[in-house]
Amino acid sequence: MRRDPALLALEDGRVFRGTAAGARGTAFGEVVFNTAMAGYQETLTDPSYRGQIVVMTASHVGNYGLAKDDAESDRIQVSGFCARAFSDRFSNPRGEEALLPALGRAGVVAIDGVDTRALVRHLRSLGAMRGAVSTEHASEAEAAALVAAIREQPRMEGAALGLSAGTAEAYRFGEPGGPRVAVLDYGVKRNILRKLAARGLSGTVFPAAATAGEVAAAGPWDGFFLSNGPGDPAALPACVGTIRDLLATGRPLFGICLGHQLLGLALGARTFKLKFGHRGVNHPVRDVATGAVSITSQNHGFAVDLATLPDGLALTHVNLNDGTCEGFRLEGRPVFAVQYHPESAPGPHDSDALFAEFASSLGR
């Protein structure tokens, strides 16, 4: 099947040409790469990828189709999608539809036929940057105009995407009867809620902008959970203030990804933007206390600055690739967080015990 030409352009003027897939049009976002060999549906539907054009390093994407049970949210979240080759058909008894029609229906502009090795090497050398994928800028003059438009787009620094990536209305999860948890939703993945419920926990998922007073009014709560999400944690000062109020209750608290960063800010640390981020399912992380190394799934472009951890905040996990902070805990309190994704599916299950630890702190 012949497809129309398309291109992916970067703010530094580099242009990669390929063929159109998914919807037609132009989409802007931060261009990042994911090194996972599988899990493209989880990537597409992860709210933490909102505002980003994701480049997959796997050579073939779409081979096993899509299945509704594998979605991490109710829709495709990425701004754009890129691969060396998208499969026109799939082979998988669990598969329910092919990738390309789903991208088109979701309005996601995508491109394949790109030299993704060259593109990823470029991003690794210069860092994640603003870009666009387009089916509407074929000529050299049009491509140059697109680069100029890219340079007018907002950067990820300062983007408060976590306020809009999650639910707009509070809703319940899990089967009542066990410890009750209030989840602050900055873009929570479905499998996080499944993991909490599997440990006998239930409760309510609140919008990111919910105040501590609004959360307390729906209580009482045995503990709190801070979810993953997209954007810059430093752009969410109201959320940081809410977390400080929740900490003052003395209840257990567990955070993942953006929740890890926001908790760090609430406790006095600072965050910074990584050069090209951590996105994949094979990142080694060392447990500081035991020395054990876990293979983890990751998706983040910001991190807690290890050098700014205040007294009383103990480093628990370190990324073995670049030495960045992957986890900490508040000494003497059942308050802890990790930067990586222990709930990830597909991906390693090395870190499932973190959910058991949180449940245990709630008396489960």
What burial letters (b/e) apply to 110-147, b meaning 16+ CB within 10 Å?
bbbbbebeebbebbeeeebbbbbbbbebeeeeebeebb
Q: Which residues are catalytic?
A: 257, 341, 343
Q: What is the mean pLDDT of residues 315-340?
A: 98
Calpha distance 344→55 (Å, rounded): 19
Q: What is the pLDDT of residues 112-146, one digit of tens each?
A: 999 999 999 999 999 999 999 999 988 999 999 99
pLDDT category of residue 208 using cuts at 50, 70 and 90: very high
Given a cut of 60, whether residue 249 has pLDDT beyond it is: yes
Q: What is the pLDDT of residues 210-248, one digit of tens each?
A: 999 999 999 999 999 999 999 999 999 999 999 999 999
Calpha distance 336→126 (Å, rounded): 33
- Angle at CA 49, nearest 5°, toward 43 and 53? 90
% of the chain exceeding 90 in pLDDT: 95
Predicted confidence at residue 349, as pLDDT, reads 83
Calpha distance 75→91 (Å, rounded): 22
Predicted confidence at residue 137, as pLDDT, reads 86
Predicted confidence at residue 1, as pLDDT, reads 53
Predicted confidence at residue 323, as pLDDT, reads 97
Note the pTM of the prediction, 2 decimals: 0.96
Predicted confidence at residue 348, as pLDDT, reads 74
Calpha distance 147→144 (Å, rounded): 5
Predicted confidence at residue 308, as pLDDT, reads 98
* Contact present, 31 and 277 (Cβ < 8 Å): no
E strand or H helix at 242, and its extent? Answer: helix 237-247
Cβ neighbours of residue 148 under 8 Å, at least 6 residues apart? none
E strand or H helix at 99, and its extent? Answer: helix 99-105
Q: What is the pLDDT of residues 54-102, one digit of tens each?
A: 999 999 999 999 999 999 999 999 999 999 999 989 999 999 999 999 9
Q: Which amino acid is at 300?
A: H
Instruction: Assess if CATH 3.40.350.10 describes domain 5-150.
Output: no
Calpha distance 172→315 (Å, rounded): 33
Predicted confidence at residue 291, as pLDDT, reads 97
CB atoms near residue 263 (< 10 Å): 30
Q: Map out the domains of the chain as residue ranges.
A: 5-150, 161-361
Instruction: Classify domain 161-361 at the CATH topology level.
Output: Rossmann fold (3.40.50)
Q: Which amino acid is at 295?
A: I
- Give bridge partners of residue 2 from the DSSP assignment: none
Rounded to whole angstroms, what are the CA distances from 245 to 153, 188, 251? 35, 21, 11
Q: What is the mean pLDDT of residues 23-45?
A: 97
Tokens of 312: 């009383």
